[in-house]
Structure 1
């Protein structure tokens, strides 16, 4: 993705990739600094995510940042800049290249709530089914649907 995207737009891309609806607050944490929406008085030390770009906070490969979504469920993600691609702005749209498992549904109660949902579904389906075919939020939680994510990313207006 282009390094000149601001962090608010980066958040919207992450929302699409994770299958969430952008219904909650978010923040990025880099070197103990918090970047998010300053319109809400949730944190006094929040720096406006609209004013910084990916390049500003991740200038080198292998740089790590933390992305937190939904301050109640508190979904915390570590994001690593794997590779800087010269002239990335020449690409027509953003592409999700890989991932593991489907993302939990939004507002499911955080990690503990999601684990409870999975345990309940496992009990209903039974562990004898090797493929563990069950649906959470319209998809198998064990499988990431890259084609679906990339269709949604292609439609995203950034």
Structure 2
């Protein structure tokens, strides 16, 4: 919201947070903690959003904060009701967070990629006043890297993490180290003149590069907030094709 202050923040809530109309007196900040379920190590985020934000925009914020790319369908499950992508038959996500009348400690689910759902548990931690000069939405905490899109769900993600530094990785690192050591000792790339050695090195590097992608998208809170301030969530709230 920037330095324009509380008054402009409240007056501009419809512009910056989006689709919902609300009077100035109704605007407040909701602080949520979000967990990605069934993964280890834990992936979690703490985010602050205005009560006038719609569930559709909240979906966009969750995409940015967690590290997803917005390419799949989604739904919220709140009080047994479903809100989300129209293709799922869920209710419209145009409802605002304030209209849900959530209480401190209230929990609900957010599912992304409904073929093999990534389930996020969301809990309302605090309801706060708008702080002058603060930017909303904001990510105020978190840890854990976002899984790779289309990796096959939580079980496949855990398998990839376990195997990213397995025995095969150690073998490929040994091949690469031996090559670098030989180049350093001979001060020559003549080893690449041997087609078998060159192919062995290329294959090892390709496998290492592939396994590096298994580690997911690194979480950096500063960059996450930069993306939110730039309004990237307003793009990701729509499915990316």
Structure 1 length normalisation: TM-score? 0.80
1:113 matched residue in structure 2 = 156
Q: Which stretches in structure 2 are left out of the alignment for 5+ residues?
A: 1-48, 172-211, 235-241
2:222 matched residue in structure 1 = 147
Q: 2:142 aligns with which of 63, 74, 99?
A: 99
The structure where helix makes up a greater share of residues is 2
Q: Is 2:120 the partner of 1:77?
A: yes
Q: 2:78 aligns with which of 30, 42, 53?
A: 30
Change (3 A) 1:90 1:10: farther
What RMSD, in angstroms, separates the aligned Cα atoms of the two structures? Answer: 2.2
Q: Which stretches in structure 1 are left out of the alignment for 5+ residues?
A: 127-133
CA distance in 2, matches of 1:31, 1:11: 17
Q: Secondary structure at the match of 1:97?
A: strand
1:137 matched residue in structure 2 = 216
Structure with the bigger RCO (C-alpha within 8 Å, sep 6+) is 2
Change (3 A) 1:119 1:56: same
CA distance in 2, matches of 1:72, 1:115: 18
Q: 1:49 aligns with which of 93, 103, 106?
A: 93
Q: How many residues align?
A: 142
Alpha-carbon contact 2:145-2:216 (below 8 Å) kept:
no
Alpha-carbon contact 1:58-1:64 (below 8 Å) kept:
no
Change (3 A) 1:49 1:125: farther
Structure having the higher Rg: 2
CA distance in 1, matches of 2:68, 2:101: 24
CA distance in 2, matches of 1:125, 1:146: 31
Structure 2 length normalisation: TM-score? 0.54
Change (3 A) 1:154 1:111: same
